[in-house]
Structure 1
């Protein structure tokens, strides 16, 4: 039997916080063990003995924001995974959070399936950046490569026809659930395929995976 992933949610907007709790409550293997309005409340929960596996936190919060919270957690609670959920999509915030020690970064326009997938990814030891940001970073990387005149040779990684279909849909920004619907299979199967692709290509997240397959001309 799988262990339930315990999540502590930090979000200062009550409606948003309650909405996330309501959606995640439908997940059988994820449990919201507490919710907080800012980083100080998160630290108070941890000092009281609460032991979440993941802290799902916004960046913009009063009293102690997400960046300050990451720094506190990395110093005193390094075993806890940190997943950012924010409206801030600029590359500098992604870099700032990941460099500080966050394990994942999501925008608030993602659907619940991608939040669930991200939670499972980071608790499995991977990092995760949402598809929207991944594609933006990929576009910037490709532009820099063009300007610098760089050229990568095709990889020897063996990718099946079905995996190429999945990679193409990932690159277009579809979620696991949407890919499953399009390919008439289950979300769990797509999650497994995505994980296999990460391992095959030696990449750590969706951004790196998409960059790998495009730059090696596995997909156009």
Structure 2
């Protein structure tokens, strides 16, 4: 029998945290090994040897919020996957979480089966963003490319290496993961990403990916 996926939950509201624990504990493929009210408590668990496969975390928490936790875990515990569960659905937080190293992003209006599905997806090596967030981001991106802005920009010169990087960004890989795959440094990838934003005149990752897909730079 396959070992259950070990999950650590970080949520500052006790009732919400206990409810998530109670519902996920019913799933045979998932084992809740600890729960915490903020990122600092999560790090204390990790330092003591607790080894979750997935950290399911809120963003707004006292002492250490979810974004800080994600970045710290990504840097110091790269084998641990992080999955956001939050009320925050704006583009800024979604992009920040994924860029910080989160493998998935869920809103608190999702049902338990979708949380379970997301946990299984990210432990299988995939990224997962809930449908409502994806649709909202696509709507926002499409809204920026109406009227004159729908004209494709054909004078942008993209190198073969930059196309490789764009493809990996589109697949949801972090700067560190891309650096590992391309045998270069994280700093180099960060520089390439910034150059691509400037070349394409885009302001963030979501807009960059929309641009390169619309211009058929990547499929």
- Taking structure 2 as the reference length, the TM-score comes to 0.67
Secondary structure of 1:79's partner?
A: coil
Shift of 1:204: 4.6
1:169-184 alignment, distance < 5 Å: none
Flag the 1:8–1:150 CA change in 2: closer, same or farther, 3 A. Answer: farther
Shift of 1:63: 0.7
Cα deviation 1:145-173 (Å, max 9, x = unaligned): 4342258xxxxxxxxxxxxxxxxxxxxxx
**Aligned residue for 1:115?**
115
2: distance between equivalents of 1:138 and 1:94?
Answer: 13
**Aligned residue for 1:11?**
11
**Aligned residue for 1:54?**
54
Count of matched residue positions in the alignment of Structure 1 and Structure 2: 157
Shift of 1:71: 1.7
Backbone CA RMSD of aligned residues: 1.9
**Aligned residue for 1:142?**
142
**Aligned residue for 1:127?**
127
1:134-213 alignment, distance < 5 Å: 134-147=134-147, 148-149=149-150, 204=171
Structure 2 gap segments, 5+ residues each: 153-169, 173-205, 215-219
1: distance between equivalents of 2:26 and 2:84?
Answer: 21
Secondary structure of 1:93's partner?
A: helix
1: distance between equivalents of 2:89 and 2:123?
Answer: 23
Flag the 1:108–1:9 CA change in 2: closer, same or farther, 3 A. Answer: same
